[in-house]
Amino acid sequence: MSLPLTPGKIIAVHLSYESRAAQRGRRPSHPSYFFKPVSSVSATGGTVERPVGTELLAFEGEIALVIGERARWVGIDDAWTHVAAVTAANDLGLYDMRATDKGSNVRSKGGDGYTPVGPELIDAAGLDPEGIRVRTWVNGELRQDDTSAGMFFSLPQLVADLSQHFTLNTGDVILTGTPAGSSVVVPGDVVEVEVDVPTTGATSGRLTTTVTQGEHPFDETLGSLPSVDDLQRTEAWGSRESAGLPAEGSSEAAGLSAATQGLSPALRAKLEQAPTAGLSAQLRKRGHHACFIDGVHANIPGAKIVGTARTLRFIPFREDLFTAHGGGYNAQKRLFDDVGEGEVVVIEARGDAGTGTLGDILALRAKTLGAAGVVSDGGVRDADEVARIGLPVFSQGAHPSVLGRRHVPWELDTTIACGGASVQPGDVIVGDGDGVIVIPPALVEEVVDAALAQEDEDAWIATQVAAGHPVDGLFPMNAQWRAKYDADTERGA
């Protein structure tokens, strides 16, 4: 028997493997199903598009059952006799559309090429339904390896249950669920799925599908657009760690309240007026000598930044760590997607300017969200475009390289070291032509008031110097000059 080019119907099981249930943290009492359109079927050697504007196209290697003899109201004991063959399938899904589907999986699972099946059929007669293996490789690396014995709903049970609800016709296909290991694939990845029977050596051969980048964006005037959140990312990648998300209950996942409290409009206005030179002088008077983020310069001449810190840490590049943490919705992307109005992204890049720590897309995202700016002790990619966007960035300068040359995005909203300064989420960052400083939140009101008062004094001193007075005794003011300043101030001079 050969697989029809267009089966009458395709029925897929939501969750059926113990290993997958352990990942998801739930184990259903009964099987549940969804339909896939026959237009989603493709053969080995085909391609599947990841649509424009999406990030979570995931593979699912599965055992596919091909119905032989028509089945309606069959019992579990003879259900297997209605299965003509088993083969490999890849139940591809677009998690970006899953929330809008609300369980139907019409858009998330129904795309063209989302159901590769084949290439060869294994005769089901005489097979042990619990002795069938499914394996999946991505770019030659084994990602899934399980057998039907690991299913909590047996293959005959699925056939018998479905036959209670509608007729299973010859050539219909049942996709029986995927084990642990399903994850996200990106354009250029090659996915191979094989179903075999280890005891006999019978095999479907490898079902090969190549992921390509689509060209057509979804039209918002016609229907729902892709939308993702951390739940969808976790389930698409298989775990929070694989998705590059912080562990549940961590300070990063919970968010640090100091970073989101922000500055009052009045305090922000004061800081806008105060120069970093004056602020750092007041910090020094209070015993804070390590407030400087050294080696960084503004990308826009005359730019000033004022805001509370959101922190991002890069660790040195290592191939396996970048594979695990550099892709997907990594720490860098999460922070630039979450930065708030008036906040400053502060990046620890260990002073390594040999690659960009952000580029034009992330700069545009931060600008759109109202971020006050970025401070990085590394480099900036797409420097001209970042400046054109208008986002103030203080860095060591431009570099054309992508992130993976020197860095792995590791964590956000944690204490970091940037340009020799310790920075915590919620610290106040002020940058101008003299450089960038870090002010502890508990000191900021006191420091800025003192700095502005000193600015008033310095302005008065400057008028005296311009009038021809020597600086000796005037800068800093001795008792005589202080009395004159106090008198002029009282008169409103």
- Contact assessment for residue 438 and residue 271, using Cβ atoms and an 8 Å cutoff: no
The owner of tokens 């970073």 is 259
Identify the three-state secondary structure at position 325: helix
Nearest to 148 by CA among 162, 127, 164: 127
Report the C-alpha gap between 101 and 56 in whole angstroms.
15
For residue 359, say whether it is annotated as part of any ligand binding site: yes
What Rg value do the Cα atoms of the chain yield, rounded? 31
Rounded to 5 degrees, what angle do the CA atoms 138, 184, 399 make?
95
Report the C-alpha gap between 345 and 147 in whole angstroms.
47
The owner of tokens 């951390």 is 230
Residue partners of 125: CB distance under 8 A and separation at least 6: none
Residue 460 burial by Cβ neighbours in a 10 Å radius (0-12, 13-18, 19+): middle
Element spanning 116, H or E: strand 115-123
For residue 384, say whether it is annotated as part of any ligand binding site: no
For residue 381, say whether it is annotated as part of any ligand binding site: yes
CA atoms within 13 A on the CB side of 138: 17
Residue partners of 388: CB distance under 8 A and separation at least 6: none
How far is the first Cα of the chain from the last one, in angstroms, to the nearest whole number? Answer: 101
Residues facing 408 on adjacent strands: 315
For residue 362, say whether it is annotated as part of any ligand binding site: yes
Backbone angles phi, psi at 227, to 5 degrees: -150, 135
Cβ–Cβ contacts within 10 Å for residue 405, how many?
A: 14
Identify the three-state secondary structure at position 447: helix
Residue partners of 320: CB distance under 8 A and separation at least 6: none
For residue 65, say whether it is annotated as part of any ligand binding site: no
Residues at the annotated binding site for Mg(2+)? 382
Residues at the annotated binding site for substrate? 359-362, 381
Residues at the annotated binding site? 359-362, 381-382
